[in-house]
Amino acid sequence: MHAAGVDPVRLPESPVSVTPSDRPTLGRLGEELARLYYEAEGYAVLARRWRTREGELDLVVRRRGDLAFVEVKTRRGDACGGPAVAVTPRKLRRMRLVARRYLAREGAAGATRFRFDVAAVSLRADGCGCRLEILPGVS
């Protein structure tokens, strides 16, 4: 997998209107863009916003024997270093814990490889464009 712009996925042409204080909408938009990307790449989405008391998996996707647990980070611009910098070692430890809970509860029939991806979504401040970068196998 590679870093990706929005070209692989057809997105609505209208500008996205999200205010800085509307973080839940911003997060859902980023998750939707990531979902569209993974589906365009042939992945099946097994879960969205899968929760336990320890945390949440934004997306769980699968293609053949590959199962990926995806953390989606969405930001307006890169003023604070971009969305990927928000995935700290602590966040990765939490993802591993929640992924173990997911596997215990949901199983992983047929999966032979597991990984943790970060989908970093940067929206332009004017709402007229975005960049999606997939960072596969973050550990």
What separation, in Å, do the N-terminal and C-terminal C-alpha atoms of the chain show? Answer: 15
User: Two tokens at 74?
Assistant: 């969405």
In a domain, 137, yes or no: no
At 95, which CATH number? 3.40.1350.10
pLDDT per position as a tens digit, 100-131: 999 999 998 889 999 999 999 888 777 677 88
In a domain, 121, yes or no: yes
pTM over 0.85: no
User: Two tokens at 58?
Assistant: 């934004």
Residue 131, SS3 per DSSP? strand
* Structure-token match 């809970």, residue found: 101
Enclosing domain of residue 57: 23-130
Return the amino acid letter for 41.
E
The whole-number pLDDT of residue 127 equals 66
User: Two tokens at 109?
Assistant: 């029939």
In a domain, 11, yes or no: no
The whole-number pLDDT of residue 79 equals 58
In a domain, 5, yes or no: no
- Residues 78-96: what's their mean pLDDT? 77
The tally of domains found in the chain comes to: 1
